Amino acid sequence: MFKILKKEDLSEQITLFDIEAGDIARKAKPGNFFILRTHEQGERIPLTIADFDADRGTITTVFQKVGKTTHHMGTLNKGDFITDVIGPLGNHSHIENFGRVICVGGGVGIAPVYPIAKALKETGNTVTSIIGARTKSILFWEEKMRNVSDDLIITTDDGSSGAKAVVTVPLEDILRNDKVDLVIAIGPAIMMKFVCKTTEKYRVKTIVSLNSIMIDGTGMCGGCRVEIGGETKYTCVDGPEFNGHEVDFDLLMNRLQAYIPEENIAMNQTEEKVEVKYNEINKRRKKSKAQSADEGAASPCAG
């Protein structure tokens, strides 16, 4: 059982949890992810470790409510428990002093880019970060990103914050004028595809973190397979980071849509049932915790 120590709604659709998970926090590195199951019958979903604190024993995750599991996660609160959390999974980011690095985060991809930008800055890189979202109300972590970047550029599709542009516009401006040693891009597959198309023209190495559908997260099921440079790779054990210029993004996007009818049915049919069940389970957990605290206080061994 893993306790939610903090819940913060970063926007209507995006929520942050700090989860008590000491073993994972002590081993986590930028770029790692974890898999959780909110309850015994729940599905396993992968989420990036957006931050971690080994001393407090916490991992931070930022999730966007897109379907059944993430919506139900949104109904959990501080003090509630998540049944299973496994990690850290995947290969961590390769961090060294590359020189001038541009970190691009789109939408909820800002969260996974943050620990990488932070580690790159701490290693002496000059870090320019570009963060983008459709509109201001779904942008988050501007201050956090500013604190780990030499420069921060904000873009929104509707111009409600920063430049009215997509992230590739300021990226191309920089590439046209300056020498850049590495670009890291995390966000929707379509954004990563166009970042790679842009950087390819300037021959700048580009790392992307892929969000393929995962089941076991340990290389056994084949669900997360992607094509990299014409070879089949498994995002969970060979990635999640890959050379963006070798990724078959069209295949990735196709595979991400493979279960949309089932996902819609799951979302529509079970939402109310599961919500009621979560509330019951959490009520029971709190009650039994309160009982054991009372018993502990009454016990001659207590204290």
Residues interacting with ligand FAD, by CB under 6 A? 33, 45-48, 61-64, 66-70, 108, 111-112, 211-214, 240, 256, 260, 263, 267
Instruction: Tell me the β-bridge partners of 34.
Output: 47
In eight-state DSSP terms, residue 247 is B
Residue 240 contact among ligand FES, ligand FAD, none, beta carbon within 5 to 8 Å by kind: ligand FAD
Binding status of residue 236 toward ligand FES by CB under 6 A = yes
Q: What distance in Å separates the CA atoms of residue 68 and residue 166, rounded to the nearest whole number?
A: 29
Of 125-133, 134-142, 197-205, 214-222, the segment contacting ligand FES by CB under 6 A is 214-222
What are the percentages of helix, strand and coil residues in the chain, rounded to 5? Answer: 40, 30, 35
Distances in Å between the Cα of 8 and the Cα atoms of 77, 110, 271 are: 9, 16, 22
The site map against ligand FES for 2-41 (x = CB under 6 A) is ----------------------------------------
Between 267 and 281, CB nearer to ligand FAD = 267
Is residue 88 reached through a cis peptide bond, with omega within 30 degrees of 0 on the bond before it?
Answer: yes
Residue 220 contact among ligand FAD, ligand FES, none, beta carbon within 5 to 8 Å by kind: ligand FES
Q: Residue 56: how many CB atoms within 10 A of its CB?
A: 12
Q: Are 111 and 48 in contact (CB under 8 A)?
A: yes
Residue 216 contact among ligand FAD, ligand FES, none, beta carbon within 5 to 8 Å by kind: ligand FES
Binding status of residue 141 toward ligand FES by CB under 6 A = no
Q: What distance in Å separates the CA atoms of residue 44 and residue 20, rounded to the nearest whole number?
A: 18
In the set 84, 142, 216, 248, which binds ligand FES (CB under 6 A)?
Answer: 216
Q: What distance in Å separates the CA atoms of residue 92 and residue 30, rounded to the nearest whole number?
A: 6
Binding status of residue 47 toward ligand FES by CB under 6 A = no
Taking the complex as a whole, the smallest distance from the CB of residue 284 to ligand FES amounts, in Å, to 32
Give the three-state DSSP class for 105: strand
Taking the complex as a whole, the smallest distance from the CB of residue 261 to ligand FES amounts, in Å, to 21
Report the chain's C-alpha Rg in angstroms. 20
Residue 256 contact among ligand FES, ligand FAD, none, beta carbon within 5 to 8 Å by kind: ligand FAD
- The residue type found at 299 is S
**240's tokens:** 């999640």
Binding status of residue 226 toward ligand FES by CB under 6 A = no
Q: Which residues of the chain form contacts with ligand FES (CB under 6 A)?
A: 214-217, 219-224, 234, 236
